[in-house]
Chains A and B, each alone.
Chain A
Amino acid sequence: AQSVTQPDIHITVSEGASLELRCNYSYGATPYLFWYVQSPGQGLQLLLKYFSGDTLVQGIKGFEAEFKRSQSSFNLRKPSVHWSDAAEYFCAVAPWDYGGSQGNLIFGKGTKLSVKP
């Protein structure tokens, strides 16, 4: 069965420091991969996605993620964190269907990011 693991429940970084949030997936083929962000009291917003091609993908708000097939990972990075980045981040996988449809999204359990001034 497909699954997504986010090993870190909570991470604290200083404002201006770099950030890397880890995500590992379990899936037989190359899946569609996503990162979402949830600000307190809000719904989720799509940060970026990977379907195929270049393994380094750029997203909104200065985030990027790198797909590494050999490690089954899709880690999220940002070179310099801002206080407004404090939120919860979810990695997700949509299994690919031979009929051309994506399957339902499977979410990781999330990583909460706190930012120190």
Chain B
Amino acid sequence: NAGVTQTPKFQVLKTGQSMTLQCAQDMNHEYMSWYRQDPGMGLRLIHYSVGAGITDQGEVPNGYNVSRSTTEDFPLRLLSAAPSQTSVYFCASSYSTANTGELFFGEGSRLTVL
């Protein structure tokens, strides 16, 4: 079972470039989310989705876009990369909004913005 798959695992960007972090889950999970992890900051929620076609902002949404056209996929787009977006990004999913705390995480995507 693949679970939650994130690509790429590593990426280096120049300031101003755009890119998309891919996230796919094969568990038919209703809820999906993106977190960023920075040293000493824990995990902070960027965007989340409670189902196909429904997305909403989390704690730190600025500079990021998401869409959820299918249940399986939840890509995160960086519109114009900035050094402050250097981080490790995690995609996570759960079965439903009734148990959003029971998350399954991908292995992370490490992004460096120069």
Chain B binds chain A: yes
Chain B positions 63-114 with a Cβ under 8 Å from a chain A Cβ: 90, 92, 97-103, 105-108
CB distance A100 to B42 under 8 Å? no
Contacts of B105 in A (CB 8 A): 43-45
A102-B101, A108-B42 are known; give 4 further A-B pairs, CB within 8 A.
A42-B107, A49-B102, A105-B45, A105-B100
Closest beta carbon of chain B to A25's beta carbon, Å: 13
CB distance B101 to A34 under 8 Å? yes
A100–B42 alpha-carbon span in the complex (Å): 27
Q: Please, what's the 1-or-0 string for A87-117, where 1 marks a CB less than 8 Å from any CB in chain B?
A: 0001010100000111111011110000000
Contacts of B92 in A (CB 8 A): 43-44
B binding-site residues for A, Cβ under 8 Å: 4, 33, 35, 40-45, 48, 58, 90, 92, 97-103, 105-108
A44–B97 alpha-carbon span in the complex (Å): 19
Classify the secondary structure of B's interface with A.
mixed
A103–B90 alpha-carbon span in the complex (Å): 18
CB distance B107 to A92 under 8 Å? no
Contacts of B99 in A (CB 8 A): 102
Closest beta carbon of chain B to A11's beta carbon, Å: 15
CB distance B40 to A109 under 8 Å? yes
A46–B41 alpha-carbon span in the complex (Å): 19
CB distance B98 to A90 under 8 Å? no
Interchain Cβ contacts under 8 Å between A and B, 5 examples: A44-B103, A46-B103, A92-B101, A94-B101, A105-B100
